Structure 1
């Protein structure tokens, strides 16, 4: 029996609605990954210099630091946000995400100052997103409206093997997460924890605003199966990825980044890959990052 024109029209409409990738160009699995670096890895934190460095090395984004009030181009102030926005316009290098590395010295588990730092950072991100929404250049707006902030748990802030500190962090995140969730922000946890402990924290907080900031070098150093963890955690739990090797350049160490690329492709990871560290002894961070950028761009963004 032949279908009527009406039935055919309905079927076509349903196909369009139910197949979002059908007319959206290349699916995520075939698009090149976006590659950036941390401003602290190249020793250019809280400055415009990191964006110009990224442009020279063909990187597409900077993970920008958030620190104490008044230090560097502090994003708490409108003037500094305007400056960074203009730098992004000039260099065409995006703000991939933010990172609060100072939490390593001011632990989230034990200090009220740390919680205030995260609150301040979220407030700055909310303002950046509001200001970006006023731009007529939508491509620029996307590059100056970061949604992810890395929360660091190393040194004094390490919670690995410390259940009491883990519980304290969970309580703090429960207070912070509602604001992040309301404004579409993500709190990314970079820790030395394994997948089991990370899942425990995420499930205990119970908010989609809390995810894992996965670092290949940290997990490899701890002896975790990074390939199994990445595959298991997936896009549901991983918000962003540090591609890092321990005391070696990317591609010169033990981590199989081609395999990581395949895993990220399979799970259709849509986020940034951020180069951190990966500097052999007697090699400057800037020189190492230049070499790491060439490697990462060749592998992940050919």
Structure 2
């Protein structure tokens, strides 16, 4: 039964978005931790997390171990040493430099970079890349929808070659997102569901899951208030009770990644452990909105 899967998942440990176990870098809420990425792997193991969703972004260029063979060797060794896994990459690079609203030459270079990113995934055991189409990279109209469809179709052969799923994160309403997915009927194209972003936009879980629940492949655990920012789990407008019902209904079998609000600087491991406990208890059936972190 799906309930058993959720409980077993909670028992095995959650993933965390990279950067949540070290202090913010240059005041950034989310970015590759140029200073401390090695330490973050050790801390993830210490607080019982299963793994890390790695960030590939512009801020980390030049120091991200993904970029070089030596860096990937170092990363693999540290992951093995601490028993932590990286099965997903959050490609925020394409939020910093969107595949939209750019010149033809820029677009070609961006697609080439995405194809390179897909080509190195197997070395690290990565099975999915999350592509954000939110904020600076949001899809604004029908013409941009066409461009996204064309871009993804162009990189799908590379994804097939390496067996890498492409998980789309958008701020489209449920019907518009469903229409986009219908243009991309391919087993490697899935949805990255972000609980906080949906709450901020006022989307209802039952409507979202009815539109594309079977295509959801990964889940970001986050809480936000309506039309506002990220808050600690249980203190926002994410309807976690409904979300759990929908996960059960659609027999969700993917991963859960903590992309939670930050606590006090230099207190990251304790804070994330507390958020992980709240999230794990939610997976086991506790009404998360009734639990408030200290």
TM band (smaller chain):
0.7 to 0.9
1:187 aligned to which of 152, 156, 166? 166
State yes or no: 1:277 paired with 2:260: yes
Count matched residues.
Answer: 259
TM alignment of 1:157-168, pairs within 5 A: 157-159=137-139, 161-168=140-147
CA distance in 1, matches of 2:149, 2:32: 28
Root-mean-square deviation (CA), in Å?
2.7
1:59 aligned to which of 14, 26, 49? 49
CA contact (8 A) 2:138 2:171 kept: yes
State yes or no: 1:45 paired with 2:32: yes
Match of 1:243 in 2: 221
Match of 1:260 in 2: 243
Match of 1:217 in 2: 196
Name the SS of the counterpart of 1:241 in structure 2.
Answer: strand
| C-alpha deviation, 1:204, in angstroms | 1.4
Gaps of 5+ in 2: 25-30, 225-229, 286-294
CA contact (8 A) 2:175 2:211 kept: no
Name the SS of the counterpart of 1:75 in structure 2.
Answer: helix
CA distance in 2, matches of 1:174, 1:288: 41
Name the SS of the counterpart of 2:198 in structure 1.
Answer: helix
Residues 172-209 of structure 1: CA deviation (Å, up to 9, x unaligned): 11101122123321111111112222222222133222
CA contact (8 A) 1:211 1:237 kept: yes
TM alignment of 1:84-123, pairs within 5 A: 84-109=75-100, 110=102, 111-112=106-107, 113-123=109-119
| C-alpha deviation, 1:37, in angstroms | 1.0
TM alignment of 1:222-237, pairs within 5 A: 222-234=201-213, 236-237=214-215
CA distance in 1, matches of 2:74, 2:244: 35
Higher CA-based Rg:
1
CA distance in 1, matches of 2:156, 2:243: 29
